[in-house]
Amino acid sequence: MKPNVLLIEDNAATRFGFVRYFAKDGYDVCEASNLAEAAIAMTTRRFDIVILDINLPDGNGIDFIETVKANDPFIPIIIITGEGDIPLAVEAMKRGADNFLTKPVDNAALAEFMRKTLEIGDMKQRQSSRKRLEKTDAFFIGETSAMREIHDLAKAAGNGDIPVLITGETGTGKGMLAKWIHQQGARAANECVEVNCSGLRGEMLSREIFGNVRGAFTSADQDRKGLLDIANRGTLFLDEIGDMGLDVQAQFLKVLEDKSYRRLGDVKLLRSDFRLICATHHDLDSLLNSGKFRQDLMYRINMMTLHIPPLRERMEDLPALVSHLLRALGSDISVLSDDIMKLLCDYSWPGNIRELKNVLERALLLTPRGTIIRQALFANLAVARPPLQQKNRGTVQEVEEAHIRDVLEKHGGNIELAAKNLHISRATLYRRLKRMNFLAD
Ligand SMILES: Nc1ncnc2c1ncn2[C@@H]1O[C@H](COP(=O)(O)OP(=O)(O)OP(=O)(O)O)[C@@H](O)[C@H]1O
Ligand SMILES: [Mg+2]
């Protein structure tokens, strides 16, 4: 069967050249000139590979990676970037793209890339089904005192019923810890119901949480249970609670105070006996100060706060964590060479354990079984700088660079957010990062 390609590119001439070349090469190409068209195409067909331009008329291709992956987590994505956009490509790889090429694209090189990327996609699918059978996604604790303390508190929390708030940067394992706490406790036999508050807003979120009766709103053609019903005797895990809108916060506060709630459109009071776990990657003080989060709700949810430190602050655990993740990824090798470990130790891991896991997964996919893992597969980590150990009080330029690094790390390596926070344009930030050798040329 012909592989189905989704080509997302706004330049009609580039698309034309691509289609002519690849149709002849045995591919079935569907063209989209912007993200909206691509989103529609994805609802009507299954694709084997996506070729994605970064600058598109209705948005940024990098932000679209998440949408593509939500639709099909294993679909290979090749990014096409303009010259000089390598930092963007690095960002794209961090967000899950498999490969990138710079413009002007040489079709023969792209054909070779597509062949290899499709192979990786196949391997991922096979590995994933194997992984599902093995079920080795265990929570790694480690030996640092901060993590041992989290472990002890989490164990105690598992047995009790008080609300737990988990904080930490993206990828530190907040979601995993929440499920672990649920599994440790007496409620493990019942559901752990998860809702991501950043994905749903306003009425959509309250509908999900509270449920509704028939006729509560125009499209409500039947009674629907809310997540609170389903979490009865189990756990309700509100992920990214910092993104919950103020209107829903007010409704939810009432549930916590009265221990009862109503479905939308209903007069009957219902009860649900659930244990609450919340998580957020936001800095809570700034959320409270900016008025985006209610103080009274905060008191209710943070009776026990577990802060997971970023990976760069617990590097002693790195060797054991690497072995744990390699085994979880189904590898028969559980130790890496000293040279590779040095590269891993010198990197600051803005994406934390998630990023480490992705880096290891990519290396495993590119290493045939029975052969050793090559150091070259980790080479791009060497361009990033280790974390700052102390505040730099050097020249203006040094202080500026240290500040940029801090802000970038605080935003998990997200260039767009960092630029916003620094009040400079993305282009300026890229130039600075290049000057700092933070990004490859
Ligand atoms: N302690 C851990 N042990 C094993 N794997 C972990 C651990 N922490 C994180 N991971 C892995 O890292 C990935 C990210 O974890 P998780 O989704 O829990 O992070 P998060 O803190 O909720 O991130 P985000 O803020 O982006 O939602 C998962 O794939 C998980 O398997
Ligand atoms: Mg999470």
| CATH code where residue 98 lies | 3.40.50.2300
Residue 27 corresponds to which tokens in the numbers above?
A: 């591919």
Q: What is the pLDDT of residue 368?
A: 80
Tell me if 174 CB under 6 Å of ligand 1.
yes
Residue 441 located in a structural domain? no
pTM above 0.75, yes or no: no
Domain boundary residue among 102, 134, 166? 134
- List Cβ<8 Å contacts ≥24 apart for 267-275: 270/228, 270/229, 272/228, 272/229, 272/231, 272/232, 273/232, 273/233, 274/193, 274/228, 274/231, 274/232, 274/233, 274/234, 274/235, 274/236, 275/161, 275/163, 275/182, 275/185, 275/187, 275/234, 275/235, 275/236
Q: What is the pLDDT of residue 321?
A: 96
Q: What is the pLDDT of residue 83?
A: 66
183 and 289, same structural domain? yes
Residue 440 located in a structural domain? no
Task: Tell the residue nearest (CA) to atom 1 of ligand 1.
Answer: 140
85 and 9, same structural domain? yes
Mean pLDDT by runs of 10 across the 441 residues of the chain is: 88 89 88 93 84 92 89 84 74 83 82 80 58 60 92 86 93 94 87 85 82 80 84 92 91 88 87 93 89 94 94 95 92 89 93 92 83 86 54 64 82 83 84 74 51
| CATH code where residue 365 lies | 1.10.8.60
CA distances from 119 to 18, 126, 316, 366 (A): 21, 11, 36, 10
Residue 316 located in a structural domain? yes
Helical ranges in 45-173 per DSSP H? 61-71, 86-94, 107-134, 145-159
Sequence letter at residue 411 = H
Domain boundary residue among 277, 307, 337? 307
Q: What is the pLDDT of residue 36?
A: 92
368 and 237, same structural domain? no
Q: Which ligand is nearest to the CA of 327?
A: 1
Cα dihedral sign for 316, 318, 323, 328? positive
Query: With contact defined as beta carbons under 8 Å apart, do 256 and 165 qualify?
Result: no
424 and 354, same structural domain? no
185 and 78, same structural domain? no
State the residue range of the domain holding 112: 4-134
Q: What is the pLDDT of residue 434?
A: 79
Domain boundary residue among 262, 287, 307? 307
336 and 376, same structural domain? yes
63 and 26, same structural domain? yes
Residue 277 located in a structural domain? yes
Position in ligand 1 atom list of the atom nearest CA 142? 1
Tell me if 176 CB under 6 Å of ligand 1.
yes
CA distances from 181 to 172, 177, 189, 307 (A): 15, 6, 13, 14
151 and 46, same structural domain? no
Helix (H, G, I), strand (E, B) or coil at 104: coil
Q: Which ligand is nearest to the CA of 168?
A: 1
Enter the DSSP assignment of 1.
-
| CATH code where residue 413 lies | 1.10.10
Residue 283 located in a structural domain? yes
302 and 411, same structural domain? no
233 and 194, same structural domain? yes
Residue 293 located in a structural domain? yes
Q: What is the pLDDT of residue 126?
A: 56
Q: How many domains, the chain?
A: 4
Residue 78 located in a structural domain? yes
Q: What is the pLDDT of residue 214?
A: 85
Q: Which ligand is nearest to the CA of 311?
A: 1
206 and 70, same structural domain? no
Ligand 2 centroid–CA 178 distance in Å is: 9
253 and 191, same structural domain? yes
